[in-house]
Amino acid sequence: MEEGRRDHPDLFHLRPAGKARIISVEKTRELIALLNRTSLQGGAKAAIIHEADRMRKEAANAFLKTLEEPPPGTYLLLLSTRPYSLLATIRSRCLVARVPSREESLGNEEWKNWIARYQDWIRLLLDRERIRLDRVGPLLEAYGLSSSLIGLINRMSDSACKDADDSSPPMEDKERDAMEAGIRRGVRTTLFGHLSDATRTVVTADELRGDLPKLGVKLARALSSLERNASLLEVNLKDEAAIENFHLSSLRIWTAK
């Protein structure tokens, strides 16, 4: 909770905190107590719950009554990129407003260059004659792609975290750590989504359309590998291990007979 250190005395923020990035019942009760106080400027009060899906069950249950019957002149905004991870009892008490993402990362030239390099790598893996002549190059490129993608995620995340920190009111270190972890996760999820699209684009290209029945099976396996490694990142597998595993798995998939 950020009391006494915010951009307006009647505006309150509740964020996830700690390595687990959770919103605890204790912090939720602090917010409820603040909302039940008299407005310091005699007007409305507002609370923003960041990453509301990170509320623990106990915190969500403690918040239900306030959400259903807010104190007079009180506005509650629950922010989430995963609304269906919220308890149904919380979701049913909210009006949903969808805000489209700007996805600024798509305009990043470094990302576009990486995608082009990745697609060229897949085309190389599908060319059996080139693979027969050079078996080491594609493996080295797999590690090069992994290293470049990790660096890209780090730089994009650092930039997004700086922007968020500059535009946010002061917060506790644990809250800042949780916010930065959430931003990094968002950047990674966005890039992985477009990595999936880029993989489909290669396989469905005109020059490969004749092999589509066979390549479709490989595509499904490659995308399954991407999803599996993305899921492992959600349980704190290191980026390096998951991304390298995806590229090495892809190498085996695309070069298999």
Question: Which pair of tokens denotes residue 100?
Answer: 């489209």
**Longest Cα–Cα distance in the chain:** 77
- Cα separation, 230 vs 219, whole angstroms: 16
8 Å CB contact between 186 and 156: no
8 Å CB contact between 6 and 50: no
pTM of the model: 0.64
**Residue the block writes with tokens 């909302």:** 35
Angle, helices 212-234/239-255, rounded to nearest 10 degrees: 170
What does the radius of gyration of the chain's CA atoms come to, in whole angstroms?
23
Would you write out the chain's pLDDT as a tens digit for each of its 257 residues?
A: 444 344 688 999 998 887 677 899 999 999 999 999 888 888 899 999 988 988 989 999 999 999 999 999 999 999 987 787 888 889 889 988 877 654 444 557 889 999 999 999 999 999 889 898 998 999 999 999 999 999 999 998 998 888 877 777 777 777 788 788 888 888 888 889 889 999 988 888 755 655 667 788 899 999 999 999 988 887 777 889 999 999 999 999 999 88
Q: Is 18 left (phi over 0), alpha (psi -120 to 50) or beta?
A: left
- Cα separation, 234 vs 103, whole angstroms: 21
Determine the pLDDT at residue 242.
93
8 Å CB contact between 242 and 229: yes
> Which CA distances in Å does 61 have to 53, 55, 58, 89, 90?
13, 9, 5, 8, 8
124 backbone dihedrals φ, ψ, rounded to 5°: -65, -45
